[in-house]
Structure formats: structure tokens, C-alpha cells
Amino acid sequence: MTQPSTCFHVGSKMFGEELEETLLENPDDECSRPVVDCPSTSSVGTPKRPQKLRKRKRGQDSAATACVAPNADTNRSRTKKMLSKKERSSVVSHIKKSPILEQVKIYFHKNECNIFQELISHGDLLVKLVNYHQNTFISLYESNATGKDKYISFQLEWHKYCSVFLLPRELPTQHLFSPPTNEMETIRTLWLDFTINPQIVEDKFKKFMMSFSSVVRDILLQETHLCLKDISDTTATGQGTTHSCNNDSDDVYFRFGGGTIASMLKQRYKEIRRCNVDKMELFSIEIAILQAINNKDKSSVPAYLQYRDRGNMYMPDMTFIPFFRAVDDCVKQVVNEKGFEEHGEEFIKVTHSHLKKATHLKSKFLHELGSKMATSSDKETQAANNVYEEMVTKLTNTRIQEFLSSLKQKTASKKGHASTTGQNLRDQLLTQHLQLQSRVQIN
């Protein structure tokens, strides 16, 4: 008789260990509750606590539970990201308008699927298949749009609805759904009629349908995410969140462009003294190009910049301001708070690679330069390309530095600091202003 009881205690111990592991692996699981252990040999000799101590402990436990409960509700509300009614309606209308059929055709044309070519000849069936998957996606997305396990629930329901096409012919649709919808019955009948083809094995049709359902689902999910991203961007912009930099006036580009021209000319005047003949010729052409971009007539420059021009500052010609603006607009597509959060350490690298892909900027630069001077020879073309690449790099770095400086200042002010370490003149003036304000308030 002792042997069975030993097995029982060992079994209960193993069950308790498994239960502890499960609770540790799923700490946020709502279904996990503390379970009273089965009586074991180790608990027989344990003395009972006094009644007063038990009451006090019980009160402490209830107080602790009351304190923890709001946090648990908060965490649970954070894990369950629910879509609002407006967002769901926007997603549904976006999916209905999306050209899903065209995207499906592009995918299968790339993969050269023979069954899909046959399906195109039955155009009505292809449209109905896409519509069935689209309607199924909309209904399942609406019904499984809440809860922390919403994506798993959606996946399970999606596979169930798509399994209608994988059932054997002899099994009715009621084997999965009771009762099935008319659309489900109709589309399954049309599909089974299409699969009656002695030249193609039936398993190939099943594999194709599995691939077809997966492709449509991926396209619809991508369209859904794009729609939700647009909604979040619009909402954030309405609330004043800085996702992209605002448009700047021409004054900014006079300063950015003038500083870039000054830096590039200074570098070339320095290097032209100690270089070979070929390099000297190339530098001479680059200096001529930069002098052509420079504007000696300051009548179109804003008044406050004219007053600051007592030291003969460099200013770009007015015709190049649209080019500087186009470069800056392209940079600001990445250089913003949202881009900084997304790319992190790769922020600067991603920005420069983004500028390299913008080939329209180069044609814009060469067009503006053509109105100032001719660049017909190979040397002149090479010099123009060198000036363009270095100028775009310097303009990009200028905007990145401006953004990072303002972001550091914003972060410092949020933390209660007057300014950041390694101050420039503007930061020092701001620090002095804040210190004077604090002294006045104290006095």
C-alpha cells in the first residue's frame, strides 16, 4: 500500500514543478492563477501560524493585492492595443480600394506559374477568388482586431476559411462550417470544377491554392499596415508631434549654401598649392564652378544678411536656392525625430544613402550650372560631379548637425538642464538668460 502513495507524491511534485515553470514562462497570462498544492509528506509536520498572525498576514496580502491591481490593469491595457472604430473603418475602406488583383498578377507573373496562367483564362474565377479572400480578410480583421492574441486568432481563422479549397471532393463544406455561406459554397464549386484537369495532378492545385492564399494575405496585411501608419502619422501631426522638419525660408538656404561654398573654396585654395599638374587643373575648374555659384551682387539677399556682409560673406546665387531647398527637403525625409527613432545608430548612414538614390538632384544642379557656365569637356564634367557630390554631402551634414543640436537641447531642457555640454555661443547665451531669470525669481 505504501508504493502507490509514493507514486502519488512524486507525481504531484512533478506536476507542481511543471506548473511553476508554466507560470514563470507566462507571467502575464490571465488564465494563470495560484493553485493550492496537493497534500504531501513534507507539509504534514509544518506547524500552523497563530490566528492573529494569520489575520494580519491576510490583511497585508489584501492590501498588497489592492496596490498591485491598478498596475496590473494598466499593463493589461497596454498589451491589448485596440483599434478605434474610425481606424477600422479607414482600414476596411482602404482594403476595398486597393488593387489587390493587380498585385497578385505581378507576383505570379514573376514566378511563372502555369496554373495561374490557366486561371487567368478563367478571368471570372480569378476575380471571385480574390474577392472571397478580400471579404474574408475584412470580416476576420474586424472580428479579431482586439486582444493581445489577436494576430494568432486571425491566423487560425484565416487558415480555416482558406481550407475550404483543400477539402477532398467527397467531403461537404459543412465539415468545416455549419452552415456555410452562399459565397463559400459557390466559390468552392467553381474551384473544384477548375481543378478537373487530367494533365495536372490534384496535389499541385492544392499547393497553388495554399500559395495563392498566403500571397493575398501578405498583400492585404501590407496594405493594412500602410493605412495604419498613415493614420498614426496624421494623428501625430495633428497633435504637434515632430515627425518631420517644417519648411524653411530662403534665408536658411542663403546661410547653408554660403557656408558650404566658403568651406569648399577654402579647402581648394589650400590644397592647390601642393598638388600635381592634373590635380591643379581639376581644382582650378572646381574653383571656377564654385565662384559661378557664388553671388557677388547681394541685392536679392535679405536685409539682415546684407548688414552682416561687411566681411564679404559668400552667398549662393538666387538661381541655386531651389536646388539647395530640394536637397534639404530630401534630407528632411529621414532627418526628423521619427527617422532618428527608427534608424538609431545607422541614422547618418541611412541619410547619406538616401541622398545617393536621389538622382534628380544631380540633373537639377547641372541644369542650374549650365545657365552660369559651360561644362562640355571631360575635365569640366568631372569637376562638376565632384562639386555636386561634396556640396550635397556638406549640406546633408549641416542639416544633420542642426537637427542633432536642437534634439540635444530639447532633451536637456526636458531633463531640467539649461543646455548641453560643449556649448556653442547660442547655448552659452541661453544658459546666461536662464540663470538671470532664476536670479530674478529668487530675488
Q: Render pLDDT for 149-187 as a digit per residue (tens, 0 to 9).
A: 777 888 888 888 888 888 888 888 877 887 778 888 888
One domain for residues 409 and 357: yes
One domain for residues 260 and 184: no
One domain for residues 224 and 267: no
One domain for residues 422 and 297: yes
Question: The domain containing residue 268 runs over which residues?
Answer: 250-442
In a domain, 394, yes or no: yes
In a domain, 70, yes or no: no
Tens of pLDDT, residue by residue over 114-146, are 888 888 887 788 888 888 888 888 888 777 766
In a domain, 259, yes or no: yes
pLDDT at residue 443, rounded to an integer? 41
In a domain, 58, yes or no: no
Cα gap 383→279, rounded to integer Å = 10
Q: What is the mean pLDDT of the chain?
A: 72
Q: Exposed/middle/buried for 62, CB within 10 Å: 0-12, 13-18, 19+?
A: exposed
- pTM for the structure as a whole: 0.43
Q: Using DSSP, state whether 294 is helix, strand or coil.
A: strand
Average of per-residue pLDDT across 243-251 = 61
Bigger pLDDT: 429 or 303? 303
One domain for residues 400 and 325: yes
Cα gap 58→11, rounded to integer Å = 30
One domain for residues 270 and 402: yes
One domain for residues 273 and 178: no
In a domain, 25, yes or no: yes
In a domain, 81, yes or no: no
One domain for residues 106 and 152: yes
C-alpha dist (Å) from residue 406 to 255, 364, 387? 17, 30, 29
In a domain, 398, yes or no: yes
In a domain, 17, yes or no: yes
One domain for residues 201 and 259: no
pLDDT at residue 47, rounded to an integer? 53
Tens of pLDDT, residue by residue over 373-429, are 888 888 899 999 999 999 999 999 988 988 888 888 787 777 776 555 555 555 555
Average of per-residue pLDDT across 46-70 = 47
pLDDT at 50 over 60: no
Contacts of 439 (CB under 8 A, 6+ apart): none
Give the highest mean pLDDT range of 71-85, 94-108, 334-348: 334-348
One domain for residues 223 and 326: no
- Amino acid making up residue 212: F
pLDDT confidence bin for 286, thresholds 50/70/90: very high
One domain for residues 341 and 392: yes
Residue whose grid cell is 495554399: 210
pLDDT at residue 223, rounded to an integer? 78
Domain total of the chain:
3
Which long-range contacts link 33-40 to residues 24+ away (Cβ below 8 Å)? 37/12, 38/12, 40/9, 40/12, 40/13
One domain for residues 330 and 365: yes
